[in-house]
């Protein structure tokens, strides 16, 4: 005995359900992604050009988000900053989480000496303060975008490893792992097909958090002059360089902060509201 | 207030599927429980017996909701209460004994902390009183070492003991109604007798009413005053225990009764002596844990020098109480837990002790089906994915051929095709076990090690599965090793039965030759199997020496 009720207003297309919050978060992330790609073509002013006679100028028809501490157009600088913030952080978080999670699951499944060696090595890496580590790396090989991405990935791999290993160890003790092992399955199948689907939710949530951390560390590095080099700036650097405008309530400091907030919050909202596969097909 | 402690009226429970479709799973059920009365809900898995029992606490599983009707417990309608009000009633007026005690205990806390938790939360008594009360319950439930068992952690006691501890947890708040959700299904028959006696004594002593969910008519016959037969979420028949047992009206009830009486096995001609070599030969197998001692023995040996032989196309039963090493023996044969000493010779070739040392074909030929389908199936993978993998892995199948085979396998274990897209968590216990068995069949093995596979199934389905196993055996020449504490199943299908006790083989019985069991432990085991006679438990007289010697009380 069944009663069909109308499925959610977003419809049930392709057998997946995607709710409104997830969809709007995805829209904002895609918007920032589009901005990052097309920034050079859409900025109204050049990022280094001084266009206002006053510093910390208010919002106006010409300067949408006001001007910064040197009188440059903040709107243009935010659009260009999206490239650096989004690109570097996404690349770094993907590398860190991929390697951390893969190593963590491997350690949990393989156990024994491999687990010990990996765990001790990554714990040692984890014990180095992250800012200090990046300062040393940048001082040694200079600041470039690939170097920044590599440094940030190395810093955040041990955390992702620990997290994934802790989750995978629990899954590893279940009977279905015994069944798969005794079937003769190899390590790649065990981690990719038996363990990963069971830890995917928490791992994605962790990825969201780690992305936020990376955005913040990148901002810190840029503030010290070791991140993205002027006249270009990522969003973190924009907040730091205009922090003097805070007492005046200058839009120059508020809008970059809003940009960071909108991106990090949307990433987390999207992860919490990923599309879910619908398995009850009998209604169709 | 009327005379009945529990009054369920026109109860309807609905579940919402992820496509937003609503399915009525309980259809207009009404039932009463008088004070001190035990009512049994009996039916196959998925018939809604647990769902109805849970509504006594105002609880429904996630995705389900009470759509209508009322559930009055001592005059209070649980449906209309707020969650906070329900929480006050749970544990003090209504308590619950779960089916799987292993999942109900927190592995990080001691047993005593968890048993007395109800008293602490509801501030019923002081900590000292609670401990004393727990101790008396431990004694009443005939747990071993009642003074110290509370200091242990859940993994340090056996499954049967844990089940009784879960009952102690439920009873400590002195509830008026207790929901027993298949509490003895996972127990050994010898322990089950004790537990049933303890339940019966405790409920009678405190005048506790109970709702007893079970699929085992013989167990229900011992403890229940009335029986409610359920199917597909509606009541089929209600009557006193003797009415249902002797004068069943409804065809479904009759089917249930018929399934309980296993047909005598039509055995083939007694061992034709055509098979020259046995399919599986196990010689002096010793299995254990911990480092190897100087004499080559493990620190803790679970199975000690057990030998057995199994001919092709024949079945071997291994019975014994929980903790006797029967599952460990199966794990050693499968190569999951490498044996310390002894030989496993399969089809004339000696197998490596660990699974890693065996070829893929050797692994394919011996499949093991685990007792707990909950943990044996990956909760993140659909039934289809679970069944596809062995087909791809062992037989290299893909695409249409593989999908057809998945449908065939589902048909073999009597599951509808619609379950292929479901996750294990969306199946009932019995359905999960059938998927679990279908996965083993997918490998097309020669020998299947069945570790208590029917203990989670309803009698009707278990009988059907036993029939299915026989059928497959005739067609494919399969052999089974049946590990069980359910003697009726073992007797129905096995040519040889090995009785194990504390890691040793105590006796070997051939049912076909009708040799009477000689060993006192075997006799105890056989006499403990419940019969479809309400007076069986009360009249049961067991050799007191044997009970003392072998029940570890």
pLDDT digits (tens, 9 = 90+) for A62-113: 888 888 888 888 888 999 888 888 889 989 999 999 999 999 999 999 888 9
Chain B residue numbers with beta carbons less than 8 Å from the beta carbon of A279 are: 18, 382, 421-423, 426
pLDDT at A51: 80
Any chain B CB within 8 A of the CB of A258? no
Residue appearing with tokens 């962790």:
A206
- Residue A159: pLDDT over 90: yes
Kindly tell me the sign of the dihedral angle through the C-alpha atoms of B203, B208, B209, B213. negative
pTM above 0.90, yes or no: no
Which of A216-230, B50-64, B409-423, B505-519 bottoms out in mean pLDDT, i.e. has the lowest? B505-519
Cα of A46 to nearest chain B Cα, Å: 51
Q: Could you tell me which residues come within 8 angstroms of residue B58 by beta carbon, excluding any fewer than 6 positions away? A: B66, B71, B78, B79, B81, B86, B89
Q: Of the candidates A196, A12, A103, which has an alpha carbon nearest to the alpha carbon of residue B385?
A: A196
Q: Which residue of A has its CA nearest to B422?
A: A279
- Residue B489: pLDDT over 80: no
pLDDT tier, B260 (very low <50, low <70, confident <90, very high otherwise): low
- Percent of the residues in chain A that have a pLDDT greater than 70, as a whole number: 92
| Whole-number Å distance between alpha carbons of B366 and A147 | 53
Residue appearing with tokens 């089916």:
B99
Contact in structure between B280 and B309 (CB atoms under 8 Å): yes
Q: How far is CA B215 from CA B84, B111, B430, B532, in A?
A: 33, 28, 11, 13
Other Cβ atoms less than 10 A from the Cβ of B518: the count is 10
Q: Is B355 in Cβ contact with A182 (below 8 Å)?
A: yes
Chain B residue numbers with beta carbons less than 8 Å from the beta carbon of A4 are: 21
Give me the torsion for CA of B523, B525, B529, B534, rounded to 10°: 70
Higher pLDDT, B3 or B52: B52
Phi, psi of B531 (to 5 degrees): -110, 160
Start-to-end CA distance of chain A, whole Å, equals 15
Q: Of the candidates B56, B49, B41, B51, which has an alpha carbon nearest to the alpha carbon of residue B177?
A: B56
Q: Is B377 in Cβ contact with A5 (below 8 Å)?
A: no
pLDDT tier, B390 (very low <50, low <70, confident <90, very high otherwise): very high
Q: Is B382 in Cβ contact with A198 (below 8 Å)?
A: no
- Percent of the residues in chain B that have a pLDDT greater than 90, as a whole number: 7
pLDDT at B193: 81
Q: How far is CA A111 from CA A117, A168, A169, B539, in A?
A: 10, 11, 9, 54
pLDDT at A91: 93
Higher pLDDT, B475 or B50: B50
Cα of B493 to nearest chain A Cα, Å: 25
Q: Could you tell me which residues come within 8 angstroms of residue B6 by beta carbon, excluding any fewer than 6 positions away? A: B31, B32, B33, B56, B71, B72, B73, B74, B177, B209, B211
pLDDT at B269: 44
In B285-398, where does DSSP find H-type helix?
Answer: 326-334, 360-365, 373-376, 383-395
Question: Which positions in chain B have a beta carbon within 8 angstroms of at least one beta carbon in chain A?
Answer: 17-24, 27, 334-336, 355, 358, 360, 363, 368, 370, 372, 375-382, 389-390, 393-394, 418, 421-423, 426, 439, 443
Q: What is the ipTM of this complex?
A: 0.73
For all residues of chain A together, what is the average pLDDT? 84
| Whole-number Å distance between alpha carbons of B514 and A105 | 54
- Residue B148: pLDDT over 50: yes
Any chain B CB within 8 A of the CB of A181? yes
pLDDT at A103: 95
| Whole-number Å distance between alpha carbons of B542 and B527 | 7
Q: How far is CA B307 from the centre of its chain?
A: 27
Chain A residue numbers with beta carbons less than 8 Å from the beta carbon of B372 are: 175
pLDDT at A157: 94
* Segment 15-44 of chain A within 8 Å of chain B by CB: 17
Mean pLDDT calculated for residue range B522-527: 80
Q: Could you tell me which residues come within 8 angstroms of residue B356 by beta carbon, excluding any fewer than 6 positions away? A: B335
Chain B residue numbers with beta carbons less than 8 Å from the beta carbon of A178 are: 336, 370
pLDDT digits (tens, 9 = 90+) for A32-68: 999 988 988 888 888 878 887 788 888 888 888 888 8
Q: What is the 3-state secondary structure (H, E, C) of B54-101?
A: HHCCCCCCCCEEEEEEEEEECCEECCCCCHHHHHHHECCCEEEECCCH
pLDDT digits (tens, 9 = 90+) for B219-240: 888 888 899 988 888 888 888 8
- Residue B264: pLDDT over 70: no
Phi, psi of A220 (to 5 degrees): -60, -45
pLDDT at A10: 47
- Pick from A17, A185, A194: CB nearest B18: A17
Q: Is B18 in Cβ contact with A276 (below 8 Å)?
A: yes
* Segment 189-248 of chain A within 8 Å of chain B by CB: 193-194, 197-198, 200
Pairs of residues, one from chain A and one from chain B, whose beta carbons lie less than 8 Å apart = 90
| Whole-number Å distance between alpha carbons of B272 and B214 | 41
- Residue B1: pLDDT over 50: no
- Total H helices, total E strands in chain B: 22, 20
Chain A residue numbers with beta carbons less than 8 Å from the beta carbon of B336 are: 178, 181-182
- Residue A3: pLDDT over 50: no
Q: Is B378 in Cβ contact with A198 (below 8 Å)?
A: yes
Instruction: With H, G, I as helix, E, B as strand and everything else as coil, classify residue A256.
Output: helix
Mean pLDDT calculated for residue range A225-251: 82
| Whole-number Å distance between alpha carbons of B164 and B187 | 10
């Amino acid at each position: 005995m069944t009663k069909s009720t109308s499925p959610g207003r977003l419809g049930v297309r392709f057998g997946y359900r995607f709710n409104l919050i997830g969809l709007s978060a995805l829209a904002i992330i895609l918007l920032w992604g589009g901005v990052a790609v097309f920034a050079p073509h859409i900025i109204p002013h050049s990022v280094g050009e001084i266009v206002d006679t006053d510093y910390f100028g208010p919002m106006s028809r010409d300067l949408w988000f006001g001007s910064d501490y040197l009188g440059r157009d903040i709107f243009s600088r935010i659009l260009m900053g999206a490239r650096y913030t989004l690109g570097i952080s996404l690349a770094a978080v993907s590398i860190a989480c991929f390697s951390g999670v893969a190593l963590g699951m491997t350690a949990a499944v393989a156990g024994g000496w491999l687990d010990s060696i990996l765990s001790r090595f990554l714990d040692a890496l984890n014990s180095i303060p992250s800012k200090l580590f990046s300062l040393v790396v940048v001082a040694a090989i200079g600041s470039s975008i690939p170097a920044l991405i590599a440094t940030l990935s190395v810093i955040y791999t041990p955390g992702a490893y620990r997290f994934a290993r802790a989750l995978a160890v629990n899954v590893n003790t279940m009977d279905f792992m015994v069944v798969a092992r005794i079937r003769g399955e190899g390590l790649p199948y065990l981690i990719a097909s038996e363990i990963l689907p069971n830890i995917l939710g928490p791992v994605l949530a962790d990825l969201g958090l780690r992305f936020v951390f990376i955005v913040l560390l990148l901002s810190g590095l840029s503030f010290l002059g070791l991140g993205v080099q002027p006249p270009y700036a990522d969003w973190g650097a924009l907040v730091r360089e205009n922090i003097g405008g805070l007492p005046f309530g200058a839009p120059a400091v508020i809008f970059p902060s809003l940009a960071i907030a909108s991106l990090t919050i949307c990433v987390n909202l999207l992860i919490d509201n990923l599309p879910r596969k619908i398995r009850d097909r009998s209604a169709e | 207030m009327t005379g009945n402690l529990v009054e369920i009226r026109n109860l309807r429970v609905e579940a919402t599927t992820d496509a937003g479709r609503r399915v009525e799973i309980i259809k207009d059920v009404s039932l009463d429980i008088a004070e001190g009365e035990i009512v049994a809900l009996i039916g196959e898995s998925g018939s809604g017996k647990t769902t109805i029992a849970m509504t006594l606490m105002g609880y429904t599983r996630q995705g389900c909701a009470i759509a209508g009707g009322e559930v009055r417990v001592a005059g209070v309608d649980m449906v209309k209460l707020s969650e906070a009000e329900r929480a006050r009633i749970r544990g003090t007026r209504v308590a619950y004994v779960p089916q799987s005690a292993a999942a109900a205990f927190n592995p990080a806390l001691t047993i005593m902390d968890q048993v007395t938790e109800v008293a602490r939360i509801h501030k019923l008594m002081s900590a000292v009183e609670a401990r004393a009360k727990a101790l008396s319950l431990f004694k009443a439930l005939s747990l071993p070492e009642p003074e110290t068992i509370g200091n242990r952690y859940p993994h340090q006691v056996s499954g049967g003991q844990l089940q009784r501890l879960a009952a102690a947890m439920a009873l400590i708040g002195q509830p008026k109604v207790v929901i027993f959700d298949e509490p003895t299904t996972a127990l050994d028959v010898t322990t089950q007798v004790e537990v049933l006696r303890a339940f019966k004594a405790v409920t009678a002593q405190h005048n506790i009413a109970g709702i007893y969910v079970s699929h085992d008519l013989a167990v229900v016959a011992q403890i229940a005053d009335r029986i409610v037969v359920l199917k597909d979420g509606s009541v089929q028949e209600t009557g006193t225990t003797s009415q249902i047992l002797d004068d069943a009206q409804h065809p479904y009830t009759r089917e249930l009764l018929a399934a309980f009486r296993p047909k005598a096995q039509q055995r083939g001609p007694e061992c034709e002596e055509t098979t020259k070599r046995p399919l599986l030969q196990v010689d002096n197998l010793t299995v254990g844990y911990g480092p190897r001692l100087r004499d080559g023995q493990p620190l803790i040996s679970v199975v000690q020098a057990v030998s057995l032989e199994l001919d092709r196309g024949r079945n071997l039963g291994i019975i014994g109480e929980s903790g006797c090493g029967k599952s460990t023996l199966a794990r050693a044969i499968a190569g999951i837990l490498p044996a310390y000493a002894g030989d496993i010779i399969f089809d004339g070739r000696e197998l490596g002790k660990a699974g890693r040392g065996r070829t893929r074909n050797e692994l394919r030929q011996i499949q093991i089906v685990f007792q707990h389908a909950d943990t044996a199936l990956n909760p993140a993978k659909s039934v289809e994915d679970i069944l596809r993998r062995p087909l791809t892995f062992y037989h290299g199948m893909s695409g249409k051929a593989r999908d057809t085979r998945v449908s065939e396998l589902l048909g073999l274990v009597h599951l509808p095709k619609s379950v292929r897209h479901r996750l294990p968590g969306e199946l009932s216990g019995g359905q999960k076990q059938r998927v679990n068995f279908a996965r083993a069949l997918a490998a097309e093995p020669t020998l299947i090690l069945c570790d208590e596979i029917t203990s989670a199934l309803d009698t009707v389905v278990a009988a059907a599965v036993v029939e299915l196993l026989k059928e497959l055996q005739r067609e494919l020449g399969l052999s089974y090793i049946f590990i069980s504490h359910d003697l009726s199943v073992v007797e129905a299908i096995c040519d040889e039965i090995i009785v194990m006790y504390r890691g040793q083989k105590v006796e070997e019985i051939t049912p076909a030759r009708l040799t009477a069991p000689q060993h006192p432990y075997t006799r105890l085991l056989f006499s403990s199997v419940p019969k479809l006679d309400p007076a069986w438990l009360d009249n049961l007289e067991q050799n007191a020496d044997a009970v003392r010697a072998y029940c570890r009380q």
